[in-house]
């Protein structure tokens, strides 16, 4: 496997890490649903030149992949209204542990290390909860976001090779923009939606442009491109670097700090997600290339 594809996904995690402080600022004026919808309308406009010629199969896969990603991002944005961005990043990182666990439910046979890693991850989360910033509903929403993204990661690895990367990315963001608009109208109401131009200041607008153009349109394309060659398990371990970058940018941009106990818990979580990825599946032909055998959810 070429090294450029893992490096592409590593670049994606750097961009994702930058989104946590940006989202934290945006949640001061906008709800999670509003942020998610606006960022994907910006992303959809960026992908407009590539919509022509997309097949029904690509729209179909883009729809259910987009629905999973939309739910994950909206739930994450909701959680960020009540918890620190570094805590959100580490809870979100548990999706890399959930990928092999879901694989077990789908007929995979992960080794015993996966169960040790699961126990360590629970211990790490418990240690992080002592930072005084735990919030039941926000933590629960963030964990649901992690679960949805774990399913998304598996689905992307299973379906990316069946479509052109730019078309699959375009189908996803346009479906997400459409679903997000309906969700936002139901959640915020037409009056609130019409007043958004008066609510959004320059800082939040620049943040939304970053979230839409780079953290959505560009990263969806890069994921669709790279996960044609990188399995769900391999992608998940690379995505484990996201909370590291998130904590770095939160420290630089928001001056957020973590207590020693929370830092130790975060290290335990990182070790757990890395440990959980050590067993690597191999194709039946003995080629040594990792398998993309997990089917997408139905």
Spatial CB neighbours of 181, under 8 Å, sequence gap ≥ 6: 37, 41
The confidence score (pLDDT) of residue 267 equals 83
The confidence score (pLDDT) of residue 205 equals 93
The confidence score (pLDDT) of residue 96 equals 73
The confidence score (pLDDT) of residue 286 equals 42
Q: What is the CA radius of gyration of the chain?
A: 19
The confidence score (pLDDT) of residue 131 equals 55
> What are the pLDDT tens digits along the chain (298 aa)?
457 888 898 899 889 888 878 887 888 889 878 988 999 999 999 999 999 899 999 999 999 999 998 888 778 878 877 887 667 777 877 777 787 778 777 766 656 676 677 677 767 766 765 555 667 788 889 999 999 988 998 888 888 889 999 999 999 999 999 999 999 999 889 999 999 999 899 999 999 999 999 999 999 899 888 888 877 767 777 777 777 777 777 777 767 777 787 778 778 877 876 776 564 444 434 444 444 444 333 3
Measuring CA to CA, which residue among 26, 75, 105, 51 is closest to residue 183?
Answer: 75
Residue 204 and residue 26: Cα distance in Å, rounded? 5
Structure-block tokens of residue 141: 């929403």
> Which phi and psi angles does 135 have, rounded to 5°?
-145, 115
Q: What's the distance, CA 60 to chain centroid?
A: 20
The confidence score (pLDDT) of residue 171 equals 95
Residue 59 and residue 41: Cα distance in Å, rounded? 17
The confidence score (pLDDT) of residue 134 equals 67
Give me the residue label for tokens 């789908």: 106
Residue 256 and residue 12: Cα distance in Å, rounded? 23
DSSP secondary structure letters along the chain: --THHHHHHHHHHHHHHHHHHHHHHHTTTS-HHHHHHHHHHHHHHHHGGG-TT--HHHHHHHHHHHHHHHHHHHHHHHHTTTS-HHHHHHHHTTHHHHHHHHHHHTT----THHHHHHHHHHHHHHHHGGGS---HHHHHHHHHHHHHHHHHHHHHHHHGGGS-HHHHHHHHHHHHHHHHHHHHHHHH-HHHHHHHHHH--HHHHHHHHIIIIIIIIIHHHHHHHHTTTS-HHHHHHHHTTHHHHHHHHHHHHH-----HHHHHHHHHHHHHHHHTT-S----TT---PPP--PPPP-
Residue 236 and residue 94: Cα distance in Å, rounded? 10
The confidence score (pLDDT) of residue 85 equals 67
Question: Please, are residues 22 and 89 in contact by the beta-carbon 8 Å criterion?
Answer: no
């Amino acid at each position: 496997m070429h090294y450029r594809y893992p490096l592409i996904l590593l670049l994606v995690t750097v961009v994702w890490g930058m989104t946590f402080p940006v989202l934290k600022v945006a949640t001061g004026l906008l709800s999670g649903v509003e942020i998610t919808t606006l960022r994907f309308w910006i992303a959809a406009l960026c992908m407009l030149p590539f919509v022509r010629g997309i097949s029904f199969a690509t729209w179909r896969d883009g729809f259910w992949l987009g629905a999973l990603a939309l739910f994950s991002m909206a739930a994450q944005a909701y959680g960020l209204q009540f918890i620190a961005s570094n805590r959100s990043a580490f809870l979100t990182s548990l999706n890399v542990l959930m990928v092999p666990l879901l694989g077990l439910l789908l007929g995979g046979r992960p080794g015993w290390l996966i169960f040790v890693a699961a126990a360590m991850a629970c211990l790490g989360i418990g240690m992080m909860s002592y930072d005084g910033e735990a919030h039941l509903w926000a933590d629960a929403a963030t964990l649901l976001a992690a679960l949805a993204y774990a399913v998304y990661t598996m689905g992307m690895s299973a379906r990316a090779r069946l479509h052109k990367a730019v078309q699959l990315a375009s189908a996803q963001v346009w479906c997400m923009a459409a679903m997000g608009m309906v969700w936002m109208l139901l959640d915020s109401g037409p009056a609130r939606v019409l007043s958004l131009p008066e609510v959004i200041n320059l800082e939040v607008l620049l943040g939304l442009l970053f979230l839409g153009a780079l953290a959505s349109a560009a990263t969806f394309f890069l994921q669709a491109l790279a996960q044609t060659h990188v399995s769900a398990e391999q992608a998940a371990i690379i995505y484990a670097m996201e909370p590291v970058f998130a904590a770095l940018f939160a420290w630089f941009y928001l001056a957020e700090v973590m207590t020693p106990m929370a830092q130790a818990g975060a290290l335990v979580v990182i070790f757990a997600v890395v440990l959980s990825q050590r067993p690597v599946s191999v194709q039946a032909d003995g080629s040594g290339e990792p398998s993309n055998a997990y089917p997408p959810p139905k």
